[in-house]
Amino acid sequence: MYRCRGCGAGLDHELVDLGPSPFSNAFVDGPDDAEMFYPLRAFVCEVCFLVQIPAVANPADIFNDRYAYFSSANAAFVEHARTFAENAIATLGLDRTSHVVEVASNDGYLLRQFKAHDIAATGYEPSESVAAVARQSGITTLVQFFGAATAGLIPPADLIVANNVIAHVPDLHDFVEGLRIALKPGGRISIEFPHVLKLLEQVQFDQIYHEHYSYFSLLALEPVLAEHGLAVERVELLPTHGGSLRLWVEHVRSQAPYVSPEALGETAFGLREIATYDRFKQRVQNCRSEAVRFFLDVHESGRTIAGYGAPAKAATFLNFCGIRRDLLPWTCDNTPRKIGRYIPGARIPIFPEEHIAEDPPDYLVLLAWNWKAEMTRKAREQFGFTGHIVTAIPHVEID
């Protein structure tokens, strides 16, 4: 039996089985290339309620020189990073004597904001593809996984940024112990992750893929942090990735943390009851039925359709729904590394974004629904798109 990576209890309560799927950021070069498929089954721990997928995938097979998610590809995300850095500098009083560490620093999209203020910055980034870009722009980057063994390789940090990374670690306790080691006394850690409450509420099943080993609530993460002498000082709710939490964490001090799962609505939503998780399966099935029906209707009526975005979550959505090139002939994305390649499994070809203007379909499906406002604006204003804009999660919505 699997064991919960949070509390160690036996893990056999299935949340949802999304079937075999390839790694969602392993974009395929050519239409005849072979791919590996791995089971994509999520579980929920009946003791601590941590939602997780067992570590059937080795992180080194996912985060390597083929990894294709470049944080800087997205202007809105870079803006999110800039605001984060300016606020952190102001509220924590960071200056030229400070040291900022980012775990999963990607292409340096965030650390460059601190460097611009003459603050020393170091990144950990195991994916060579993105780390190389950061290094080229002068960001000190250790091409390493972060954990207890590597946390001491650099001077202790006044601020550790662990945004959108804690979901990606199979050895959760080793990672959190690393955070404790790397933090200077009195320092702060920012931990950002998509909130599992939103995943369940909005049926965001496409956020489930092998890269995401765990799906957190405050309820499930707080005891893990506490075991390593870390306490939650403050929590912010963010709109990113369909609804995220940002925890501000510090070494345990005398006062009790004043943020509780109750205050965040986690208890009221039912995150302490297994029945809440049990309703998810059926809702995922309903979402798939609705989406497949829509794609078939468009196909049978002879109208045209295309995707916008080739995010990691598109692979889960398309593979689970069985939507391939016959139902979705192409998508488009602004990430140079994705253009000219194919979405894993579903094999949908990826064109540059400008393709929307060159070959406008009747329906444009936003596969990155979390960027709906930005993508709609771009499609309409930049590419002159006048057809229907569609999102499929949690329901098919046609504008």
Strands (E), 129-169: 140-142, 157-163
Tell which one of 18, 42, 44, 48 touches Zn ion (CB under 5 A). Answer: 48
225 vs 367, which CB is nearer to ligand JHZ?
367
Buried b (16+ CB within 10 A) or exposed e, 42-81: bbbbeebbbbbbbeebebeebbeebbbbbbbbbeebbebb
# binding residues, ligand JHZ (CB under 6 A): 23
Nearest-angstrom CA–CA distance, 241 and 195 = 9
Decide: is 52 part of the binding site for Zn ion (CB under 5 A).
Answer: no
Nearest-angstrom CA–CA distance, 71 and 361 = 28
218 vs 321, which CB is nearer to Zn ion?
218
Task: Answer with the entry of ligand JHZ, Zn ion, none that 250 interacts with (C-beta below 5 to 8 A by kind).
Answer: none
Binding mask 2-41 for Zn ion (x = CB under 5 A): --x-xx-x--------------------------------
Tell which one of 180, 313, 337, 341 touches ligand JHZ (CB under 6 A). Answer: 313
Look at phi and psi of residue 175 and say left if phi exceeds 0, alpha if psi is from -120 to 50, else beta.
alpha
305 vs 343, which CB is nearer to ligand JHZ?
343
Neighbours of 134 (CB within 10 A): 25
Decide: is 335 part of the binding site for ligand JHZ (CB under 6 A).
Answer: yes
Nearest-angstrom CA–CA distance, 386 and 388 = 7
> Any idea what the Cα angle at residue 360 is, between residues 356 and 366, rounded to 5°?
60
28 vs 94, which CB is nearer to ligand JHZ?
28
Task: Please identify, among the stretches 138-146, 292-300, 319-327, 366-374, the one whose residues bind ligand JHZ according to the rule CB under 6 A.
Answer: 366-374
Strands 388-391 and 244-251: unpaired
175 within 8 A of 146, measured Cβ to Cβ? yes
Cα of 291 vs its chain's centroid, Å: 22
Binding mask 40-79 for ligand JHZ (x = CB under 6 A): -----------------------------x---xx-x---
Task: Please identify, among the stretches 89-97, 216-224, 270-278, 311-319, the one whose residues bind ligand JHZ according to the rule CB under 6 A.
Answer: 311-319
Task: Please identify, among the stretches 113-121, 216-224, 263-271, 370-378, the one whose residues bind ligand JHZ according to the rule CB under 6 A.
Answer: 370-378
Least Cβ distance, residue 178 to Zn ion (angstroms) = 20
Closest residue to ligand JHZ using C-beta atoms: 311
State the residue for tokens 């990672």: 175
State the residue for tokens 């791995």: 38
Binding to ligand JHZ, residues 207-246 (CB under 6 A)? 211, 241
Task: Answer with the entry of Zn ion, ligand JHZ, none that 170 interacts with (C-beta below 5 to 8 A by kind).
Answer: none
52 vs 370, which CB is nearer to ligand JHZ?
370
* Among 242, 216, 232, 233, residue whose Cα is nearest residue 317: 242
Decide: is 45 part of the binding site for Zn ion (CB under 5 A).
Answer: yes
14 within 8 A of 274, measured Cβ to Cβ? no
Tell which one of 6, 126, 261, 311 touches ligand JHZ (CB under 6 A). Answer: 311
Task: Answer with the entry of ligand JHZ, Zn ion, none that 7 interacts with (C-beta below 5 to 8 A by kind).
Answer: Zn ion
Nearest-angstrom CA–CA distance, 351 and 334 = 8
Residues in the site for ligand JHZ, rule: CB under 6 A? 69, 73-74, 76, 164, 211, 241, 309-313, 333-335, 338, 353, 368, 370-371, 374-375, 378
